[in-house]
Amino acid sequence: MIRKSLIDYDKKPSFYYTATRIELLPFINDSAKSLLDVGCSTGVFGKLAKEKTSIQKVTGIELNKEEAKTAKTNLDTVYTGTFEDNAKKLKKGGYDIISFNDVLEHLIDPYDMLHRAKPFLSKNGYILASIPNVRYIKNLLKYNFKKDWQYEDLGILDRTHLRFFTKKSMIRMFQECGYEVNRIEGINSIGRTKRMLLSIITFGLISDTYHMQYA
């Protein structure tokens, strides 16, 4: 009841659930065969992963019932509900990758989610996560110069976001949950020319602000 009144995902535009997230494919290792996509939306990322990478089997979990129906046409297995709702149906040690693509920021306790996910990773499995960067330069300009923090329907200040992260706090969260961070890169960044100019002007001190998200 509280979740529905505060966070109504049904009001999101259709493209919110249909982004392919092609920019995340390079983070899939060639040895990875199985993927558990938490918050899989319509399953387009998992479908693309099977088509373009070494992934052979994708299991999805999706809270939105309508999106889960669509995901079932794209993925091998789809469970409707939360991770907690479906944990008993998942295979422990059965997934080479567990992905949280723009999911952790929507959770009350993302630390708990990362702890819960760990037993389901295979021996050499890893977490793939895409997380919005609250220090993104366009965001900084808004609240530093306009002196305002205004929630929006989409984006970094999405009104359904419960947690906000910087690059440093993302790394710290995973480390505190017992993970080793082997790779973190900025994605969906400002243009190369702007990055170069800003690096010259600021001596590279704000390079973490060039990227809308980190993965």
Per-residue confidence (pLDDT) for residue 8, from 0 to 100: 55
Domain contains 18: yes
State the residue for tokens 């993927």.
35
Domain contains 24: yes
In this structure, what CATH number is given to the domain that contains residue 80? 3.40.50.150
Q: 70-88: per-residue pLDDT in tens?
A: 999 999 999 999 999 999 9
pLDDT exceeds 60 at position 209: yes
pLDDT exceeds 60 at position 4: no
Domain contains 63: yes
Q: Which two tokens stand for residue 71?
A: 């995901």
Domain contains 156: no
Domain, as residue range, for 71: 2-132+162-188
- How many domains would you assign to the chain? 1
How many whole angstroms separate alpha carbon 127 and alpha carbon 111?
A: 13
Domain contains 145: no
What residues have CB less than 8 Å from 66, skipping those under 6 apart?
Answer: none
pLDDT exceeds 50 at position 6: no
CB 34 within 8 A of CB 96: yes
Q: 143-180: per-residue pLDDT in tens?
A: 888 888 889 888 999 999 999 999 999 999 999 999 99
> Three-state SS for 166?
coil
Tell me the average pLDDT across 92-111: 98
Domain contains 20: yes
Domain contains 66: yes
Per-residue confidence (pLDDT) for residue 145, from 0 to 100: 86
Per-residue confidence (pLDDT) for residue 2, from 0 to 100: 34
Domain contains 125: yes
pTM of the model: 0.90
